[in-house]
Amino acid sequence: MDLDLRKLRYFVAVAEQLHFGRAAQALHVAQPMLSRQIRVFERELHAQLFVRDRHGVALTPAGVELLESGRPLLAEAARVQRRVRADAFAVAFMPGLVVTGAVRALERNHPGLVVEVVRTYWDEQTAVLRDGRADVSYVRLPVEEGPNVLALGKEPRVVALPAGHPLAGKESVRLVDLDGETLLQPVGAVPEWRYATAAGAPARSVEEKLELVAREHGIVVLPRSVSAYYRRPDVAVVLVEDLPPGEIGLAWEREHRLLGEFVAAAKAFAPCDTLLA
Both 137 and 268 in one domain: the answer is yes
pLDDT surpassing 70 at residue 156: yes
> What is the distance between the alpha carbons of residues 211 and 214, in angstroms, rounded to a whole number?
5
Q: Are 21 and 59 in contact (CB under 8 A)?
A: no
Host domain of residue 135: 85-154+246-276
Both 162 and 231 in one domain: the answer is yes
pLDDT surpassing 50 at residue 187: yes
pLDDT surpassing 70 at residue 71: yes
pLDDT average, residue stretch 250-261: 92
Backbone angles phi, psi at 171, to 5 degrees: -75, -35
pLDDT average, residue stretch 170-194: 90
Both 184 and 230 in one domain: the answer is yes
pLDDT surpassing 80 at residue 181: yes
Q: Has this prediction a pTM greater than 0.85?
A: no
Q: Are 18 and 57 in contact (CB under 8 A)?
A: yes
> What is the distance between the alpha carbons of residues 245 and 243, in angstroms, rounded to a whole number?
6
With CA atoms as reference, report the closest residue to 248 among 128, 157, 112: 157
Label residue 222 exposed, middle or buried (CB < 10 Å: 0-12, 13-18, 19+). Answer: buried
80 occurs within a structural domain? no
- The pLDDT value given to residue 237: 97
pLDDT average, residue stretch 82-100: 82
pLDDT average, residue stretch 140-167: 92
User: In this structure, what CATH number is given to the domain that contains residue 180?
Assistant: 3.40.190.10
Label residue 87 exposed, middle or buried (CB < 10 Å: 0-12, 13-18, 19+). Answer: exposed
Element of type H or E holding 5: helix 5-17
When pLDDT is cut at 50, 70 and 90, the band that residue 229 belongs to is confident
pLDDT surpassing 50 at residue 274: no
How confident is the model over 27-40, as pLDDT tens digits?
888 999 999 999 99
pLDDT average, residue stretch 263-274: 83
Identify the bridge partners of residue 91 per DSSP, sorted by sequence position.
117, 136
Q: Look at the chain and report how many structural domains it folds into.
A: 3
- The pLDDT value given to residue 48: 96
- The pLDDT value given to residue 276: 37
